[in-house]
Amino acid sequence: MDTTLRGVGVSHGVAIGEVRHMGTAVVEPPDGQIPESEAPREQQRARRSVEDVANDLMARGNLAGGDAQAVLEAQAMMAQDPELMGEVERRIAAGSTAERAVYDAFAAYRALLAGAGEYLAGRVADLDDVRNRIIARLMGVPMPGVPDSDRPFVLVARDLAPADTALLDPALVLGFVTEEGGPTSHSAILARALGVPAVVALAGACDVDEGTVIAVDGSTGTVRVSPSEEEQAALTREAEERKAALDAAKGPGATSDGHKVPLLANVGGPSDVSAAIEAGAEGVGLYRTEFLFLDDSTKAPSEEKQVTAYRQVLEAFPEGRVVVRVLDAGADKPLDFLTPGDEPNPALGVRGLRTLLDHPEVLQGQLAALAKAAEGLPVYLEVMAPMVADRADAGAFAEACRTAGLEAKCGVMVEVPSAALRARSVLQEVEFLSLGTNDLAQYTFAADRQVGAVSRLQDPWQPALLDLVALAAEAASAEGKSCGVCGEAAADPLLACVLTGLGVTSLSMGAASIPYVRATLAKHTLAQCERAASAARAADSAEEARIAAQAVLSGE
């Protein structure tokens, strides 16, 4: 009997196949005491297992490349955390086995992460995966992970660790569904990079029996359980039609009546450039430079290292537009040499531009490196500051850009509601706005972007969020300046039409989403997009907004 479930679609495409459940996590090791004489041997076992797991994660990252590599390298650093390893060794010295010491030490660290702000709380699943891998090695049992299968399947799990997601074989894993996670979780980001259809935050996913045929629509977030042959055929036809539309849509982003909407790529470094070019990106709308800084959390990278990384990306888009976000450190990306470790609520504390203004030498060093990287290149470099709250913030950043010789090319991210509400004031200081819809939703609705339980409030279709986008776009238009979107909202083809109708002047997204957005925009006029935007804003919920916009664009 057909049942339709709804979660959050995070990666486009349709997958139809039998369910395979994620491998069972390592069981809790039994309590037990060891003689004092055995402590050194147990400590050595623990250290060896930690190193093996860290090396395995690094190797997986090297194979995966791109965003996945940065995520897995961060997990490897987590495994090797000296304080965590010190706690493991102290527990062994007190009489615990290596397995039990790892389990208990990670449990204590897990509790700290869960209460340490949005980004760190969102890394609990990553920490659990590291713990399970270390304990599996110590116990000599198979690693928890993707099941073996001799034919393609749809993977279902409570959650997926980055190490599992990064190396999924799209020829074998047709798609995946998780009960937990959100649209900005690591698994969602990596799924989009892989081009694997995915739905997250789907209540009851793990209750679907092994071997059951399901149809996963990563665009709409719907999962059909035991669809009929007719329904499967219809979904397959829809998928083929989407692919044909993708293949037919080429060139710059534009509506069917010629209104240009540049489609840009979000990148984390040089390794993401090839995918962006292959997808037809017209430039880069968000270059996340924090990955460069996360390589060593104890100090800023040298100017030489920064110049090399920046120039590789700039050279890839001759005469194109590359928008670089200066270091976004604090709460969601802590760095030992910059961010305080004792803030009661880091998400609302010193992060983003606030961190850089407290450490002006880091900001000036990065701006100088960017200016040097762009020397002699025809590319149009722009720089923007994260977490700007008001005109004073924007003015401070603009002054720093003037000092570095980048005064005509500076802008700000709109992630705080105050910046959207006072966008015209902010634009007296800078040349453009870029809406980061992930954080803007988080701060608008007081809803942690990593918590699946509040994912409905992270839905970019929320009418209140669309109202803030409209305010920012209207202010930019009045000032004769640009207003783009570089949050995950831009990756939704239907929502991309609505954003265009709201007055957004460019859209930036993961490379895999660009063809879908290009094809959808090309089917609708600017007037249709404007009507769809009005219909969405008139709704009272995200779901109603989506349905209203769809009705307008489909001519109903």
Active site residues: 186, 486
Two tokens at 432? 């453009």
Separation of alpha carbons 67 and 55, rounded Å? 18
The angle formed by the CA atoms of residues 196, 200 and 203, to the nearest 5 degrees, is 140
57 membership: H or E segment, kind and range: helix 39-64
Q: Is the distance from CB of 12 to CB of 221 less than 8 angstroms?
A: no
Phi/psi at 509 (5° precision) = -155, 175
DSSP code of residue 329: -
DSSP code of residue 330: B
Neighbours of 320 (CB within 10 A): 17
Q: Which residues, in sequence order, are CB contacts of 424 under 8 Å at separation 6+?
A: 475, 478, 479
Separation of alpha carbons 420 and 390, rounded Å? 9
The number of CA neighbours under 13 Å toward the Cβ of 158 is 7
Separation of alpha carbons 412 and 168, rounded Å? 36
Q: Is the distance from CB of 435 to CB of 504 less than 8 angstroms?
A: yes
Q: Is the distance from CB of 256 to CB of 37 less than 8 angstroms?
A: no
Neighbours of 43 (CB within 10 A): 19
Q: Is the distance from CB of 73 to CB of 165 less than 8 angstroms?
A: no
Q: Which residue has the tokens 């369910």?
A: 19
Helices (H), 115-150: 118-121, 124-139
Q: Nearest CA to 507 among 255, 262, 280, 267? A: 262
- Helices H, strands E: what count in the chain? 23, 16
247 membership: H or E segment, kind and range: helix 229-248
Q: Which residues, in sequence order, are CB contacts of 315 under 8 Å at separation 6+?
A: 377, 379
Two tokens at 541? 């919920």
DSSP code of residue 298: T
Separation of alpha carbons 430 and 421, rounded Å? 16
Task: Sort strands 198-200 and 8-11 into parallel, antiparallel or unpaired.
Answer: antiparallel
Separation of alpha carbons 413 and 420, rounded Å? 10
Phi/psi at 471 (5° precision) = -60, -45
